[in-house]
Amino acid sequence: MSSLLVRGGLVVGPSTSSVGDVLVRDGVIVDVSDTIALPPGCSEIDARGCWVGPGMVDLHAHLREPGREAAETIESGAHAGAIGGFTALVAMPNTEPALDNVALVSYVLDRGTRTPIDVAVAGAITVGRKGESLAPMAEMAALGVRLFTDDGIGVQDPSVMRRALTYARPLGVRLAQHCEDELLAAGGSMNEGALSSRLGLVGRPALAEELMVMRDIELVRLTGAPLHFLHLSTIRSLNLVDAARREGLPVTCEVAPHHLTLDETSCQGFDALFKVHPPLRAASDVEGLRVALRSGLVDAVASDHAPHAPELKDLAFDEAPAGLLGLEYSASLTFEALGGDVDPVQFFSLLSRGPARIAQLRRDDLRVRHSAHGGALVAGDDANLVVFDPNARWTASNATLHSRATNSPYDGRALVGQVRSTIAKGTLVVHEAELV
Ligand SMILES: [Zn+2]
């Protein structure tokens, strides 16, 4: 098979980094050292000045297939992911129909194997994501599903959530919650506050999120089952999770790039591109999230990539669906949010090693179909890696998106740091920021 030498980059390990070469052969990293002579017939990538890290892992990608292929397909989402530096995506189950059974999970896994990267699946917690009866999690777990969520909505009924946690624990899987109390958030389309009042829009209060975080921490305490908090958007939510973790409770959390880089004032133009759940928050929360990100309080950055067909985002702000594109700019926006002198170890912890641990996609985890992700970049690892240029300056453009949809709020934004190459399962999938 093919071999590839990644030359002269800063090779970023789990705790330290050093400049060197990485040799990939037949889908596996076979050597990492200061200088490796180019073997005959081997192609070479110049990574000087760049960071070479484990391929990124996205915990939160809405790939829309089956049901809404006009917005995205598993294939187009995988291409957008590869451009963004991702070698593995976790496909969310709020498709139509929902991924709440073995047949549909198998369908998505099979389609995923036809893409250049790994596509894992998060199964639904409840049948049809209706929040009532439990989906057959054990059967889906037998296919390799390791995360379960009703994302798009949280499990509202605490007794259902308690039962789900109790059921999940012996399966060795993790539930993931979209935290919003729908009774408190009802009818809201942006953050609740002075600005929503001024704009005449119904708000979704921060408390709708925080109340469910509080409730679920107590349910974790009761059941002992691990729980992952999706796209937390307020500093209070993060502080609650931090306190729970200090008590030894098995909780993890992610934040989304848009909550780190955009605030509620973006909604002033009533442009539905900025409508997302949980909503863009006050500037003070954005700054608080950035501080928490730098301080190591956050386990993962996850895109919450949510494509929508163009006609839907042309609707009035309060009628349009929530969600925006995330995969292609996640790495650059995370780099921006970390600010100033970014630690490459932390960068890859947030975008690769942390999420791979939560999704159980690492070498030591039980795997059914996928190659291993979030590795230490040592010989013997599956060759999922990314070359990121921390000095690149470029401009986001909705004209060059690889997603089928175009609902990105970042058109025209100046970005620093760019994915140059993505190597998935030993194959060069993205080179010079273009699909090969
Ligand atoms: Zn969600």
Is it the case that residue 74 has pLDDT exceeding 80? yes
224/333 same-domain check:
yes
46/85 same-domain check:
no
* Mean pLDDT over each residue of the chain, to the nearest integer: 97
The CA angle 173-175-178, to the nearest 5 degrees, is 160
Report field, pTM of the whole predicted structure over 0.75: yes
26/60 same-domain check:
no
pLDDT at 313: 86
Centre of ligand 1 from the C-alpha of residue 194, in Å: 24
| Cβ density class 258-284: b for 16+ within 10 Å, e for less | bbbbbbbebbeebebbbbbbbbbbbee
pLDDT at 2: 81
Residue 429: φ, ψ to 5°: -100, -35
Task: Report the distance separating Cα 260 and Cα 282, nearest Å.
Answer: 11
Looking up tokens 């400049």 gives 19
- The answer to whether the beta carbons of residues 34 and 9 sit under 8 Å apart is no
pLDDT at 271: 95
Task: Report the distance separating Cα 104 and Cα 126, nearest Å.
Answer: 14
- The answer to whether the beta carbons of residues 358 and 58 sit under 8 Å apart is no
**403 lies in a domain?**
no
Task: Report the distance separating Cα 27 and Cα 11, nearest Å.
Answer: 18
251/282 same-domain check:
yes
**DSSP-based helix, strand, coil % in the chain, nearest 5:** 35, 25, 45
**402 lies in a domain?**
no
**267 lies in a domain?**
yes
Task: Report the distance separating Cα 150 and Cα 248, nearest Å.
Answer: 25
Task: Report the distance separating Cα 356 and Cα 381, nearest Å.
Answer: 14
Centre of ligand 1 from the C-alpha of residue 130, in Å: 15
**335 lies in a domain?**
yes
423/339 same-domain check:
no
Is it the case that residue 1 has pLDDT exceeding 80? no
CATH number of the domain that 188 lies in? 3.20.20.140
Residues with Cβ < 8 Å from 106, sequence gap 6 or more?
A: 143
Query: ω into residue 97 within 30 of 0, thus cis?
Result: yes
Q: pLDDT for 179-214, tens place per residue?
A: 999 999 999 999 999 999 999 999 999 999 999 999
Centre of ligand 1 from the C-alpha of residue 25, in Å: 38
Centre of ligand 1 from the C-alpha of residue 385, in Å: 27
208/244 same-domain check:
yes
pLDDT band at 370 (very low <50, low <70, confident <90, very high): confident
Task: Report the distance separating Cα 245 and Cα 247, nearest Å.
Answer: 5
Centre of ligand 1 from the C-alpha of residue 81, in Å: 18
Task: Report the distance separating Cα 351 and Cα 54, nearest Å.
Answer: 9
138/241 same-domain check:
yes
Catalytic residue IDs = 304
What average pLDDT does the segment 113-121 reach? 97
3-state secondary structure of 174: strand
Q: Which residue has the higher pLDDT, 315 or 340?
A: 315
**Structural domain span for residue 419:** 4-52+378-395+409-435
**154 lies in a domain?**
yes
The 10 Å Cβ neighbour count of residue 166 is 15
Task: Report the distance separating Cα 418 and Cα 80, nearest Å.
Answer: 14
Centre of ligand 1 from the C-alpha of residue 154, in Å: 8
86/186 same-domain check:
yes
Instruction: Select from 181, 369, 177, 337 the least CA-distant residue to 360.
Output: 369
Q: Report how far apart the first and last C-alpha atoms of the chain are (Å, whole number).
A: 17
Is it the case that residue 366 has pLDDT exceeding 70? no
Centre of ligand 1 from the C-alpha of residue 177, in Å: 8
CATH number of the domain that 8 lies in? 2.30.40.10
Q: pLDDT for 389-406, tens place per residue?
A: 999 999 999 999 999 999
179/273 same-domain check:
yes
Centre of ligand 1 from the C-alpha of residue 153, in Å: 6
Centre of ligand 1 from the C-alpha of residue 63, in Å: 13
Which of 342-347's residues contact partners 24+ apart within 8 Å by CB, and which partners?
342/390, 342/417, 344/10, 344/12, 344/17, 344/51, 344/53, 344/390, 345/12, 345/13, 345/14, 345/15, 345/16, 345/17, 346/294, 346/296, 347/12, 347/51, 347/53, 347/388
**118 lies in a domain?**
yes
64/39 same-domain check:
no
What is the full DSSP assignment across 210-235?
HHHHHHHHHHHHHH---EEE-S--SH
320/416 same-domain check:
no
Task: Report the distance separating Cα 86 and Cα 79, nearest Å.
Answer: 9
What average pLDDT does the segment 222-250 reach? 98
Neighbouring-strand partners of residue 46: 7
Q: pLDDT for 28-66, tens place per residue?
A: 999 999 999 999 999 999 999 999 999 999 999 999 999
pLDDT at 365: 84
**What interhelical angle do 283-295 and 235-246 show, nearest 10?**
30
**218 lies in a domain?**
yes
215/126 same-domain check:
yes
Q: How many domains does the chain have?
A: 2
Q: pLDDT for 91-107, tens place per residue?
A: 999 999 999 999 999 99
Looking up tokens 């995360």 gives 147
CA 227 to chain CA centroid, Å, is 16
**364 lies in a domain?**
no
